[in-house]
Amino acid sequence: MKKTRTLSFVALALAAGGVLAGCTYEPKPRVVVDRTRARIDAVSRLMQAAESPDPATRACAIEAIADVLPDRAPGVVLQGLRDDDRMVRSAAAMAAGELELASAKARLQEMAMFKTKGAEPDKRVYAAVVGALHRLGDTKHSSDLRDLLGDPDEELVRAQAALALGLTKEHAAIDLLKRRLDIERSPLVTIQIVEAMARLGDAGALARLEGLAYLPTDSSVAAMEAAARYRTANASDLLRGIAEKPDQSPIRRAIAYGGLARLGETTDANYSYCLSAAQDPQGVLQKAFRPFGIKVEAADVTRLQRCAAVALGWMRRIEAVPELQGALAKAQDGPVRVSCAMSILRIVQPTSVAGRELPPPSPKAQAPAEPPQRKQPRKPQVHSAEGKD
């Protein structure tokens, strides 16, 4: 995993130069889209991506297929569980648990066996396997998640263990997660623990997710996405506030607009911004970075394009389909193509999308979140694509 790169911005100059400049929305003539053809093409793209030579593309494809094409997921997941790459196996195991795929249970049990042929050698993948098995009714190895959550050497192992505990649907796991949270120092693991607690029904975790979204780290985007996914009490205000701050990076702004759309809030300006970012991510980033002499990295470009494509899918505007098809056809990055195809499917078949949001919490269950208090003012910051997606 690449290390986080933090870039300092001057808010006044950003406000004057404006990353929002040139993003006025001009309605085009009504777009007629052949939904059937668009769906067939997008499905084909996702299935091809699952066979890609690039492991990151295969892993993204598994997650996307489990989300928007659950009927096609069993074969793809079973194939992924035997993949040579641990990232792909992990994605497949999590998908098997999310969808409760009984057909994957035998392979998962084989992966969970210690020092036998076919057993899983990687601790991160093993955590996902155990979480999936627990969801499928096999709790033989579930106690291992406690040890993995406390792994002293690898934060990614602890983060995966937290995700797996959230997958189990066991409310009793909240106490275990809370104890780890008290001593955890990694921002990434902290956010994954809090998200797992929220998923398991802890009302306090819902409020804490909102506070974590304000942190100036790449990991905080996971908290932004989780606030929308679990529909926290103040998610709309949180995401709107982040998007409207003049010192936000294009990546965080696109994620915020996507989260708002997921909550049912979309404006022409938000749509126009994400459309520009999906079509010309390099240009959007250069406009934001040029006044400060900051170089745009390739990872920034692909991440912004992915985030913008995902946001357009949640906006569910039919006129975005040809634009996403164009971006998909031109994109060189496999995960970008997956994001475009997934969003096309989300638009043309919204009723069959697999939703993962929790029901909105009751008004009394969650106190309003406040940004973390800082003792001294600091310069506004924006963050690059080199953190965890």
| Whole-structure pTM value | 0.82
pLDDT at 142: 96
Task: Residue 314: give the domain boundaries.
Answer: 15-49+232-356
pLDDT at 219: 83
Q: Is 94 exposed, middle or buried (0-12, 13-18, 19+ CB in 10 A)?
A: buried
Domain contains 225 = no
CA 185 to chain centre: 22
Domain contains 72 = no
d(CA 97, CA 130): 9
Domain contains 243 = yes
pLDDT at 146: 96
Helices 203-213, 220-229: crossing angle, 10 deg rounding: 130
On whether the CB atoms of residues 353 and 67 are closer than 8 A, the answer is yes
Supply the DSSP symbol for 380.
Answer: -
Query: What is the bridge-based pairing of β-strands 381-383 and 6-8?
Result: antiparallel
Domain contains 35 = yes
pLDDT at 166: 96
pLDDT at 26: 56
Q: Which residue has the tokens 């096999």?
A: 138
Domain contains 285 = yes
Which of left, alpha, beta for 30 (phi over 0: left; psi -120 to 50: alpha)? beta
pLDDT at 218: 80
Domain contains 248 = yes
Q: What is the dihedral of CA 296, 298, 303, 306, to 10 degrees?
A: 120
Supply the DSSP symbol for 292.
Answer: G
- Count of structural domains, the chain: 1
The whole-number mean pLDDT for each consecutive block of 10 residues of the chain, a chain of 389 residues, reads 34 33 54 94 98 98 97 97 98 98 97 82 96 97 96 95 96 96 95 96 93 85 94 95 89 97 96 98 93 89 97 97 97 97 94 45 40 40 38
Domain contains 265 = yes
Domain contains 211 = no
